[in-house]
Amino acid sequence: MLIDSKEIIQKTGISRATLNNYIRLGIIPKPLVKRPDRTHGKTKKIGFFPQSVFDSINRVKTMKKEGMSIQEIAAIFAGEPGTHMEKMPGEIKREPEHITETRTIPRDVGQLTLSIDDIRTPAYLINYKFEIEWTNQTAEEEIFRHAVRQINDPGSRNIFRFLFYNETIFDLHMTYFKSRHSKEAIPRLYMNMEEKEIDFFNRSFDRSMELTKKELINQTYVDITKKDGSRESYRLYVTFFREGLFFLYERADTALDGAMEFLTNRSRVISDLLQRRMPVLINFCVIVADLQDSVRICAELPPEEYFELINQMRRKIEESFRKYYGVYGKHAGDGLVYYFLKDRDLRYITNSVDCALEIKGRMEKLSEEWRMRKKWDNGLYLNIGLNEGQEYFSALHPSANIEFTALGDTINYASRLSDLARNGAVFTTKNLVNRMDKEDRCRFIFGIRKKTSGGEVFVENTFSRVTDLLDVEDRRNTKIMDISALSVTEILGKASDHGWC
């Protein structure tokens, strides 16, 4: 007698993901897919297995308790001839009209060929604000019914905006929303939410299921009503990542060969998804920091000491970036680029300034350590350019590491300000200072150094055009002249402790 997959899951306590994994590894045979009887409700197709799978699953549990890995267990089952050649019981009639042949996407044995580009069924990635960060065209057509990829504003890509037409799909996503958010968070999901929308959300929140068992990969079944009124059944995989949730729909009569193998290769999946993530237009601050005279320092130090210095410098200042929610960016040379994103931190401006000043202090200590160690007069200065703006923002993946980047004048200006700064100074734009309220501005000492007959004087709370700070005849300043008309200031330190302003 055959047993269905639901009964196996109920009696053995394993998850559907584990059951599929055992099938993929050859521990249990592939199911016979057929129409179930009326006891299964509206389920159109379900997999049936021989009774021997109970023995196989119990053996797996015993082997795991003995400390064996799943790969070792699979190898044992693979070495047992005839293990999965058991014939189906004679009383089960294999009538063609009740059996659906499972179509697969072919792949070479031992190779993981399924990729994001191979997926022809609906698939999309959302962050934990439930904004769509990537989607394929099939999901646009069958799930969202909207050209989502043409929308630049992240808030306008909130997934619930596109699901009001289907309560079932809406409630399904609400289940995952409930696993992280309270009901009070609903009005903050996106701007200008109407009262009737809030009511719809609240009703969905109350009736949607609780996510009782949160696995890395959750599976469920869902019926989608298409524009023409027809319905299609899907197996839905929902994969949890630090960056968000990945939804992959698999048609009930079509198996994506290698789907589970693909999803369990988590680093590759999220890397592929983030590479394709839609650029977003956001406000942010950027710090560009370059080591002064790095070429000369490299020439004076043995290679191992130079790399020791660079790595030590990076470790120290990266602590500050993490503390102030900085995001690592792409940069060439012996410097660093970090972004401070408004959508992650509402105090992104003041945090970027605090971070720059903390880095300045850390570099002063590091410089003194190396001065004592090498008995030299060289100072170690990280010249910092700081700017604020709004640009399109995305992620780059030149290797296994994730690097974020933004394109536009905001970054270019910060880079030129880093070139302008000398001896560890922190330069920023008048625009950034103006974006701070009075209370925040009072926390910092900023101004311009003026040369007088009596020497250099620091004039507080002032700005200057870049061209007025440069010797225009000096060829070294050629590229800085790109921002000659920009109004800038130097942030000297913190002022709040002294009661200034």
What single string gives the DSSP state of each residue in 244-261?
A: EEEEEEEETTEE-TTHHH
Report pLDDT for 404.
64
Give φ, ψ of 334 to 5 degrees. -95, 40
Measured CA to CA, the distance from residue 413 to residue 408 in angstroms comes to: 9
CATH number attached to the domain at 1-101:
1.10.1660.10
**CATH 3.30.70.1230 domain position(s) in the chain:** 280-498
Q: If phi over 0 gives left and psi between -120 and 50 gives alpha, with beta otherwise, what is residue 110?
A: left
CATH architecture of the domain formed by 102-278: 2-Layer Sandwich (3.30)
Residue 178 contacts residue 211 (beta carbons within 8 Å): yes
What pLDDT shows up at residue 17?
Answer: 75
22-53 pLDDT tens trace: 887 788 888 887 776 666 555 667 788 888 88
Distance CA(148)–CA(143), nearest Å, equals 11
Task: Name 341's Cβ contacts closer than 8 Å, sequence gap at least 6.
Answer: 282, 283, 284, 325, 327, 348, 393
Burial 205-230 (b: 16+ CB within 10 A, else e): beebeeeeeeeebbbebeebeeeeee
pLDDT at residue 39, rounded to an integer: 61
Q: Which CATH superfamily is domain 280-498 in?
A: Nucleotide cyclase, GGDEF domain (3.30.70.1230)
User: Would you state the pLDDT for residue 338?
Assistant: 93
Query: Quick one: tokens of 246?
Result: 């990945």
Q: What's the burial of 367, exposed, middle or buried (CB within 10 Å: 0-12/13-18/19+)?
A: middle
Burial class of 199 by CB neighbour count within 10 A (0 to 12, 13 to 18, 19+): exposed
Helix (H) / strand (E) containing 446: strand 444-452
Residues of the chain with pLDDT under 50: 81-112, 396-400
CATH 1.10.1660.10 residue window(s) in the chain: 1-101
Reported in sequence order, the residue ranges of 274-419 that DSSP labels E, i.e. its strands, are: 280-291, 327-328, 335-341, 382-396, 403-407
Q: Which of 225, 142, 132, 174 is nearest to 124 (CA)?
A: 132
Q: Where in the chain is the domain with CATH 3.30.450?
A: 102-278
The answer to whether the beta carbons of residues 416 and 385 sit under 8 Å apart is yes
Q: In one letter, which amino acid is 437?
A: D
Residue type present at position 104 = T
